[in-house]
Amino acid sequence: MNKEEFHNIVIEQQPNICQIVCYKDNKNIYSDVWNNYKENDAVHIMSVTKSIVSLLVGICIDKDLIKSIDDKILDYFPNYKVKRGEKTIFNVTIKHLMTMKTPLKCKYDPWVKVCSSDDWTIASLDFIGGRKGITNEFKYNTVCLHVLTGIIAKVSNMTPVEFANIYLFEPLGIVKHKHYLAETAEEHKAFTMSKAPKEHIWFEDPQGVGTAGYGLCMSASDLAKIGLLCLNNGKYNGRQIVSEKWIKEMVEVTHTADEQFRNMSYGLLWWIIDSKKGIYAAIGNSGNIIYINNSNNFVCGITGYFKPTIFDRVDFILKYLDK
């Protein structure tokens, strides 16, 4: 199949794809764009943000800013006022957040209450805990992960976007990111659902803390560079940016999900597709993805404009790209 034929297959089968970049044996083997996007345009990568935050946590651990993911989250917020009668939150760790096993006092993501507050970290902490205690039940969530970027801000004395620019993006040759604050709920909705290209920005709360569960805007080229970093055990162009130890730890299976999540396993904010072959991915709504196959020395970054309930992007990669 030639490039033109595959270009048309994407139009027919995956019409919301904006960009694809693939590497094999650390060489760029494929790059293309659709939907009037340019190569360097940024797309809101949705929950792929989570996996990039995992890398930032690893960098914090490498730099001894965070001792361990077994640390209690309240160790980083000594002035936080725990609600009367709440006991569970005292034993919640960073690992609980990163494995989606945080006990929460809500059935669904508390978007309105957290996102209408002045400090999303504190508002998220208010939802952690509950009478059931720590059950280690897998409960995929997005909003309350904001505590993770709140911790990064605390330990680094920087905003998460500043920390990411210095220690991750710039070493990878990724465009320096800027803050983006939505002043209204309408702006927030437009940011999430717009199909137009974006700048290299990170959605933030009023405190300047970038969202941990979503909110980063990147190109497929950027995503592929993140994938190369992981494929090469934390190295990029010969420079160790994240420790090999962390790369291995973040893709160890902590839970195997059910059919709702296509029976994939979960590590530390990364989805594990095949642990034996070393295939794992950062997956976001609209089919945004960083796909890494260690056994085939293959990396793929795909961006897509907003289109919910796309569940077949991994299948598409396996069928047409990872061969």
pLDDT-based confidence at residue 291 (cuts at 50, 70, 90)? very high
For position 20, what pLDDT does the model report? 98
Ramachandran angles phi, psi of 300, nearest 5°: -140, 135
What's the rounded mean pLDDT across residues 53-77? 98
Reported as a single tens digit per residue, the pLDDT across 209-228 is 999 999 999 999 999 999 99
Q: What residue ranges define each of the domains in the chain, with the CATH number in brackets?
A: 3-48+178-320 (3.40.710.10)
What's the rounded mean pLDDT across residues 54-72? 98
d(CA 123, CA 238): 41
pLDDT-based confidence at residue 260 (cuts at 50, 70, 90)? confident
pLDDT at 259 > cutoff 90: no
Percent of residues, the chain, with pLDDT higher than 70: 100
What's the rounded mean pLDDT across residues 158-169? 98
For position 317, what pLDDT does the model report? 97
Report the greatest alpha carbon distance in the chain: 64
pLDDT-based confidence at residue 197 (cuts at 50, 70, 90)? very high
pLDDT at 257 > cutoff 90: no
Extract the tokens encoding 249. Answer: 């730890």
Please check whether residue 123 is in contact with residue 114, taking contact to mean a CB–CB distance below 8 angstroms.
yes
pLDDT at 78 > cutoff 80: yes
Extract the tokens encoding 218. Answer: 């990147």
What is the pTM assigned to this prediction?
0.97
pLDDT at 19 > cutoff 90: yes
pLDDT-based confidence at residue 141 (cuts at 50, 70, 90)? very high
What's the rounded mean pLDDT across residues 106-129? 96
The count of C-alpha atoms lying within 13 angstroms of the C-alpha of 99, restricted to the half-sphere facing its C-beta, is: 23
Mean pLDDT of the chain: 96
Please check whether residue 299 is in contact with residue 321, taking contact to mean a CB–CB distance below 8 angstroms.
no
What's the rounded mean pLDDT across residues 89-106? 97
Please check whether residue 58 is in contact with residue 242, taking contact to mean a CB–CB distance below 8 angstroms.
yes
What are the Cα distances from residue 190, in Å, to 93, 115, 144, 179, 232? 33, 14, 21, 16, 36
For position 222, what pLDDT does the model report? 98
For position 217, what pLDDT does the model report? 98
Radius of gyration of the chain (CA): 19
Extract the tokens encoding 211. Answer: 């969202």
Ramachandran angles phi, psi of 266, nearest 5°: -130, 140
Write a three-state SS string for the chain: CCHHHHHHHHHHHCCCEEEEEEEECCEEEEEEECCCCCCCCEEECCCHHHHHHHHHHHHHHHCCCCCCCCCEHHHHCCCCCCCCCCCHHHHCEHHHHHCCCCCECCCCCCHHHHHCCCCHHHHHHCCECCCCCCCCCCCCCCHHHHHHHHHHHHHHCCCHHHHHHHHHHHHHCCCCCEEECCCCHHHHHHHHHCCCCECCEEEECCCCCECCCCCEEECHHHHHHHHHHHHCCCEECCEECCCHHHHHHHCCCCEECCHHHCCCEECCCCEEEECCCCEEEEEEHHHEEEEEECCCCEEEEEEECCCCCCCCHHHHHHHHCCC
Provide the 10 A C-beta neighbour count for residue 80: 13
d(CA 155, CA 231): 28
pLDDT-based confidence at residue 296 (cuts at 50, 70, 90)? very high
pLDDT at 97 > cutoff 90: yes
Comparing 65 with 262, the larger pLDDT belongs to: 65
Cβ burial, residue 243 (10 Å; 0-12/13-18/19+): middle
What's the rounded mean pLDDT across residues 13-38? 97
Q: At what angle do helices 220-231 and 48-62 cross, to 10 degrees?
A: 40
